[in-house]
Structure 1
């Protein structure tokens, strides 16, 4: 199925010369200045960092004089600086903290543990896969240092975010279908490698023991603030059932918090802002949803031991490594050849999960990245087909085949039901996921949860139903 070439932008992304450091600096300045609040937050973070100390460390590590430090990028959790040396070479420094201030309220010990786990993950990937990841030159894990925050020195990746050239009728420099397919095939292979090289005995996050020179699975280090989740146990867990039980306990406790109803109202007000909903309608829906979720968690907790998930745990199915946020903003491609993936970045929050979670949890192909343009949708469908074909070709056929895929997908729907926070999941989407889970389960389990299917959608509004139709099928 060929995509017609016309005056439409899908003519393909031409080769491009990599930008100079000053170009990156200028682009970041424009992005920051576009928002007053972000600019102020960025300046606040910068003021707390000693860039002169960073320059001195870089000079010592690289054994040559660093002459300049420039801000070239900011993500949700880090600021990225280019360090330029007198001989014209450069490296980058990635320092915890960013204009988004997403780590501003987290305990330092939690941040350090997450950063250590990220670099343990990168080290593991370098040793066991062909996935291109950042090359770490120097790592400072703790806050107690002259720079003022944990940081790393890394080799600069010469590549651009694939999100900048993602197929879109609004972007004249975007990739065409064939270029996008080439990139997707590589990313799908990377995801398969994370499943093939697995010998983990627990669910959690990776740690690395420098003394013993070995990897192990420790407590999970997700990107949200663990200390604010009531009743949350960070693991590690030895089975899928243990893991799900822990998540259920957390969400049940969340529903008992005094601010749950307020947060739920805020969520639906935001979802329906175009319709200017009445406060009493939002309040009615929020209270109805609270009853719905309480009923679900109580019912699931009471019946969890009757769900036999042991055939999908080791030794039958492995626990596998998962990139928490593998989206189009965390994959970089070559400037001259946009079909060549040069790096997968941002491994913070990566964790070890059951096989049936790791092979469906992918934010790289998200239909929300596409408009209703027929050509964009055609490209999207072809990329999904390519990803599925790559998985069938690269995964163990005894685990991943036409008979097992529906069952594994249904289990992933169960994971979504248990892991998505009840503050911000619409009841119609929740009900769709429940139906998808039960579609491939034994009849006794269907009967077990039939009361949930009969409970209905309460006071679900049209925005909630639309979200269920788009993401729940």
Structure 2
């Protein structure tokens, strides 16, 4: 989010404070952000007119174009180093385990990196360990992603990877998007893989109609 704020005009909350360790009063990793005005598009979606939806799509085109315009040299998530500079690091996805959960569900001695093979820069060295199927699949898919990028020489860009209508705030009086939320799974990927979960434009609602519309 620091990189997005410094390098794009995409509307996002301000990060007030964060801790990527459990060594704080919450006992868990957390991010504290400013409150952003507007309504989640998923909440007002049925009442939006075609023109209003068109305005939203135009803005999303601008957002995706802006994200894709910045070049990167490696695949991975973005993090701040000790000097506050943005660096490329571990890849994080929806199967990622956080510290308190590792202590609860995994044997003593396991760490964030050891139970999250997709988090490593060198995925192949760890992917042979016996893992939960969902973790192994994450590691395997990330390795394939790197191999595919090398073969295709694909351009790399920062992808949100969870860009559905429940993660977009909208001011109906102006027709403007006021905030793009939930960047926790974002990372640099080959631009051909910008939407791996196929979440884009899902209306944020449950049920067969919503799934069929997304497809």
Tell me the distance in 1 between the aligned counterparts of 2:197 and 2:170: 22
- Rate the CA distance shift 1:127–1:251 in 2: closer, same or farther, 3 A: farther
Other structure's SS at 1:329 match: helix
* Structure 1: unaligned runs, 5 residues or longer: 1-121, 169-173, 238-242, 258-296, 381-469
Of 79, 86, 91 in structure 2, the residue corresponding to residue 215 of structure 1 is: 86
Name the counterpart of 1:197.
70
Other structure's SS at 2:158 match: strand
Name the counterpart of 1:351.
187
Structure with larger RCO (C-alpha < 8 A, sep 6+) = 2
The question of 1:183 aligning with 2:56 is answered yes
CA contact (8 A) 1:139 1:152 kept: yes
Name the counterpart of 2:109.
none
TM-score by length of 1: 0.34
CA contact (8 A) 2:89 2:121 kept: yes
Tell me the distance in 2 between the aligned counterparts of 1:354 and 1:247: 22
Tell me the distance in 1 between the aligned counterparts of 2:15 and 2:90: 23
The question of 1:363 aligning with 2:203 is answered no
Q: Residue deviations 1:152-189, cap 9 Å, x none?
A: 443321111000111x3xxxxx1011101111121222
Tell me the distance in 2 between the aligned counterparts of 1:220 and 1:355: 15
Tell me the distance in 1 between the aligned counterparts of 2:25 and 2:185: 26
Point out the structure with the larger helix share: 1
Other structure's SS at 2:92 match: coil
Name the counterpart of 2:152.
312
Per the TM alignment, residue 360 of structure 1 is displaced from its structure 2 partner at its CA by 6.7
Per the TM alignment, residue 151 of structure 1 is displaced from its structure 2 partner at its CA by 4.1
Tell me the distance in 2 between the aligned counterparts of 1:153 and 1:137: 6
Work out which of the two has the higher radius of gyration on C-alpha atoms and give 1 or 2. 1
The question of 1:330 aligning with 2:197 is answered no
- Rate the CA distance shift 1:248–1:178 in 2: closer, same or farther, 3 A: farther
- Rate the CA distance shift 1:235–1:143 in 2: closer, same or farther, 3 A: closer
- Rate the CA distance shift 1:214–1:127 in 2: closer, same or farther, 3 A: same
Q: Residue deviations 1:220-257, cap 9 Å, x none?
A: 122324577979352336xxxxx7x79986899839x9
Per the TM alignment, residue 347 of structure 1 is displaced from its structure 2 partner at its CA by 0.8
Other structure's SS at 2:165 match: coil
Q: Residue deviations 1:241-277, cap 9 Å, x none?
A: xx7x79986899839x9xxxxxxxxxxxxxxxxxxxx
Tell me the distance in 2 between the aligned counterparts of 1:164 and 1:137: 26
- Rate the CA distance shift 1:363–1:236 in 2: closer, same or farther, 3 A: same
Per the TM alignment, residue 137 of structure 1 is displaced from its structure 2 partner at its CA by 2.8
Other structure's SS at 2:117 match: coil
- Rate the CA distance shift 1:156–1:309 in 2: closer, same or farther, 3 A: closer
Residue correspondence of structure 1 range 333-412 to structure 2 within 5 A? 333-337=170-174, 339-358=175-194, 362-366=198-202
Name the counterpart of 1:162.
41
Per the TM alignment, residue 149 of structure 1 is displaced from its structure 2 partner at its CA by 4.1
Per the TM alignment, residue 146 of structure 1 is displaced from its structure 2 partner at its CA by 3.6
- Rate the CA distance shift 1:309–1:198 in 2: closer, same or farther, 3 A: closer
Tell me the distance in 2 between the aligned counterparts of 1:197 and 1:308: 20
- Rate the CA distance shift 1:186–1:146 in 2: closer, same or farther, 3 A: same
Residue correspondence of structure 1 range 73-472 to structure 2 within 5 A? 122-166=1-45, 168=46, 174-199=47-72, 201-211=73-83, 213-226=84-97, 232-236=117-121, 254=133, 310=150, 312-313=152-153, 317-337=154-174, 339-358=175-194, 362-366=198-202, 471=215
Other structure's SS at 2:169 match: strand
Per the TM alignment, residue 310 of structure 1 is displaced from its structure 2 partner at its CA by 3.3
CA contact (8 A) 1:203 1:235 kept: no
CA contact (8 A) 2:167 2:181 kept: yes
